[in-house]
Amino acid sequence: MINRGHLFIILLLFLSVSVLLGATVSQVFTYPYPRIKISPVSAYAATDMSGVLLGARRLAADIAWVQLLQYYGSPEEPLDQETEFTLSWDMTKFLFGIPLEKTHKLGNPEKEHRHYHADIQGGVYTRLYSDCLRVAELDPFFSYVYLYGAGALAWNLNRPDEALKLLGAGIEDIELFNPHITKDLHHPFWQYNLYISAIVYSKTGKYEQMTALLETAIKQPGCPNMMKAILANIYQKSGQPAKSLRLWLDIHDSQDPSYTNRSGQKIMELETILHIAS
């Protein structure tokens, strides 16, 4: 459970940004909002409903998103307070574009904070699908949560059926609440279908087709770093270390605290494989 003081800092920052961006966002999405649903995560049902009734549905979705990142970005076993604070504060700075301190141009795994990765260190995260759905039901235009959640479910947690179900819900929301969208490649509609196709190819063992679709997906605006890391790992396993290295360098340059340590490790590992001097 995250320390309440740390959570308060995160919520305060999100409140400030939500107020500043409210006017801009209101020009993009039309009202009224979709029908009210009971939160799929019962522990948050009361707070989510409060956000809806107070007219702060987008803010409630932002809070739910931070809580999702805290849940999936931490081991399922309890953290010590120092590690908990580091994970919480570094992620907050990243979300608000605050530069993170570096000890090495490519990251020094021995000196930088160590961050947890479900795909490396294990974890079941039975609630991840419900947490993603919670964010989406508060704000069905929050397209990033569908992409992030589907990637984690399909490739990190080996639950492709839940990933497909989540993406299907995203497509339904687009069709229901925004029927006159353009069929542009950069629109979430096509991103969802790219992910769906890649997951189906993965399930059926068509890895060349899956890789080709992931290569298209990572070029789209707002693609999660997690998807880039998945493709980088696929490249390395298939004997393409140079391609893998380019992706890890891109991930490292993003300063995403979830990947600072991991990208530094992978860069050094791949440079050794390719006999590149640091």
Token pair of 250, please?
């891109």
DSSP 43: G
What Cα–Cα distance (Å) separates residue 89 from each residue in 31, 64, 149?
A: 34, 17, 22
Q: CA angle 225-249-67, nearest 5°?
A: 25
**pLDDT: is 136 or 260 the higher one?**
136
pLDDT > 70 fraction of the chain, expressed in percent and rounded: 65
pLDDT of res. 74: 79
Asked whether the predicted pLDDT for residue 81 surpasses 70, the reply is: no
Asked whether the predicted pLDDT for residue 231 surpasses 90, the reply is: yes
What Cα–Cα distance (Å) separates residue 196 from each residue in 39, 63, 215, 226?
A: 25, 27, 14, 16
State mean pLDDT over 6-14: 66
Nearest to 87, CA basis, from 114, 109, 119: 114
Question: What are the DSSP calls for 93-151, one per residue?
Answer: HHHTTPPPP-SSTT--TTTSPP---HHHH----TTHHHHHHHHHHH-TT-HHHHHHHHH
d(CA 42, CA 35): 18
Asked whether the predicted pLDDT for residue 216 surpasses 80, the reply is: yes
CA atoms within 13 A on the CB side of 125: 28
The domains of the chain are located at 4-273
pLDDT of res. 145: 94
pLDDT of res. 149: 95
What is the maximum span of the chain, computed from C-alpha positions, in angstroms? Answer: 59
Query: Which of 95-104, 171-180, 219-228, 240-249 has the lowest average pLDDT?
Result: 95-104
Asked whether the predicted pLDDT for residue 185 surpasses 70, the reply is: no
Asked whether the predicted pLDDT for residue 42 surpasses 50, the reply is: yes
CB-based contact 98:108 (threshold 8 Å): no
pLDDT-based confidence at residue 49 (cuts at 50, 70, 90): confident
CB-based contact 119:258 (threshold 8 Å): no
pLDDT of res. 112: 42
Query: Which of 67-71, 201-205, 263-267 has the lowest average pLDDT?
Result: 67-71
CB-based contact 13:62 (threshold 8 Å): no
State mean pLDDT over 66-89: 70
d(CA 151, CA 142): 15
**pLDDT: is 187 or 158 the higher one?**
158
Does the pTM exceed 0.85? no
Cis upstream peptide for 109 (omega within 30°): no
Region for 47 from its dihedrals, namely left if φ exceeds 0, alpha if ψ lies in -120 to 50, beta otherwise? alpha
Asked whether the predicted pLDDT for residue 89 surpasses 70, the reply is: no
